Chains A and B, each alone.
Chain A
Amino acid sequence: MSIRAFVYRLCRKRVCLARLLVAAFILFPFSFLLVLSFGRRWAYPALLPGEWTLSNWLSVWGAQAGLGESLALSLALSTGIAAVSTAASFWVSRQVAGHRYRRHWLLLAYLPYVFAPVVLAACLQYFFIRAGLSGKVWGIALAQLFITFPYGVIFFASFWTERMLALEQLIATLGGSTWQAYARVLLPVAKDTLMTCFFQLFLISWFEYGLTTLIGVGKVQTLTLKVFQYVNEANIFFAALASCLLVLPPVALLWLNKRYVFSRYFATKTPRH
């Protein structure tokens, strides 16, 4: 083997090793929590739990742990909030885009997003109590809209370009109504952007803790609340299990996003010779 070939193979091996290291670095937190979720009795200074069991995972749907209920509630809440926020912010961002003070509106949209959600919740808590929404699922849904909706408006800011205006004008010139413009052209064109926005808003709602705790006053037990509850109870195995459950839907969404949205996006962007 020549020196050049040897160096080339060594470099290839180093690249492979670096990739493996990066993959291990990314996967380590998930695998660590997964290992803990199957464990029991982890006395110091043992590196691994003393006992391995499936009972933690089997108890997900048990009434005692209530993890299944929390998972279903979190899924329903986050899906509903993401759907409503995506639809509303898409329409509102169009109105803002055409407004003469659009820059000021956009700046205002940044504010609830950059506030700490928990501080925002502290400021709004009084009104939620007076409205009878404190401790209710609807109250949490409304409170989370305060952070997801502006994020959606900011997200769609880059969508309403000159090309979109030209499309709208073309539809109007050809006799199409506003409804037809949305239903037949704008929504199909924005399908991938809408999907990405939906995923991101789902994630914001899914991982929300502080605002949910304050407005829900601990009565609405989402999965993030469960994690903190188990941590406070020093039940690390159930906390790890709840963390794994918390990670699973975002990973599934990421895979779906990559599989169906990004691949299609890049396929349409790739020049064909």
Chain B
Amino acid sequence: MAFFIFQLMSKGGALSRLAFQLGLIEGLQQFPDWVNGQYGIGIIAAHFLMALPFFIILYTHIYQSEGMPALAQQALSLGASRRQAAWRVAAPALFRRSFATVVLYFLFVMGSYEIPLLLGSQSRQMVSVLAIRKLQRFNLGDIPQAYAISVLYSMMVIVLVVGLLRSKMQDPWKEYQ
């Protein structure tokens, strides 16, 4: 996906060529910095395209398993508008059921390496890229910094996972014993 976005959205990529052919730009230097730019638009696009099918499947499954059509129908029968049924009945229930997955996906995106490595900025690096770049440098002073970054990141993840998931995570073996 990273390589696809790189070839699609970079200055010499397919979108830039298409914009040139359509007369929207006069040269590749006029095409915006979507890849390796400071706002990480390429990274966001790659993760969005990767997450989209996964979350569509997830929410479709939850929508059916939680009996959402019946709940929405009930809300409509009680006088709610379609918008209210969607945002005040279905959305909170869907988010509550998918909370653990969303948090885990957030952590996955935060710790991703390949996509920011290929599509990210050289000056503002994501934590995993920064740690590994420091680890691979020849300056011995950078290596302890890489370990410090890794440990800090790990601690942050532990705090987030324990804090956010502990209360929300269901015990799959609750009825086992």
Enumerate chain A interface residues (CB-CB to B < 8 A).
26, 29, 32-33, 36, 44-47, 97-98, 100, 102-103, 106-107, 110-111, 113-119, 122-123, 125, 157-158, 160-162, 165, 209-210, 214, 224, 227-228, 231, 236, 239-240, 243
- Chain A residues with Cβ below 8 Å from B14 are 32, 47
Establish whether residues B176 and A97, one from each chain, have CB atoms under 8 Å apart when the complex forms.
yes
Range of interface residues on chain B? 35 or more
**Complex Cα–Cα for A226 and B68 (A):** 46
Which secondary structure dominates where chain A touches chain B? helix
- Chain A residues with Cβ below 8 Å from B165 are 107, 110
29 contacts between A and B (CB under 8 A): A32-B7, A45-B17, A45-B20, A46-B17, A47-B14, A47-B17, A47-B21, A97-B176, A106-B171, A110-B104, A111-B158, A116-B110, A116-B112, A118-B113, A118-B131, A119-B153, A122-B131, A122-B150, A123-B150, A158-B172, A162-B175, A209-B113, A210-B114, A210-B128, A231-B3, A231-B118, A239-B3, A240-B7, A243-B4
Q: Which of B17, B135, B171, B173 contacts A122 (CB 8 A)?
A: B135
User: Which 5 A-B pairs have CB atoms at the shortest separation, nearest pair first?
Assistant: A116-B111, A210-B113, A45-B20, A118-B113, A157-B172
Enumerate chain B interface residues (CB-CB to A < 8 A).
1, 3-4, 6-8, 12, 14, 16-18, 20-21, 28, 49, 53, 104, 107-108, 110-114, 117-118, 127-128, 131-132, 135, 146-147, 150-151, 153-154, 157-158, 161-162, 165-166, 169, 171-173, 175-177
Establish whether residues B12 and A44, one from each chain, have CB atoms under 8 Å apart when the complex forms.
yes
Q: A107-B162, A118-B111 are in contact. Are A36 and B7 (CB under 8 A)?
A: yes
**Complex Cα–Cα for A111 and B110 (A):** 14
Most A CB within 10 A of own CB, among B111, B146, B153, B171: B111
Most B CB within 10 A of own CB, among A32, A97, A110, A243: A110
- Chain A residues with Cβ below 8 Å from B8 are 32
- Chain A residues with Cβ below 8 Å from B154 are 115, 119, 123
**Complex Cα–Cα for A102 and B8 (A):** 46
Establish whether residues A107 and B132, one from each chain, have CB atoms under 8 Å apart when the complex forms.
no
- Chain B residues with Cβ below 8 Å from A209 are 113-114
Q: How far is the CB of B166 from chain A (nearest CB, A)?
A: 7
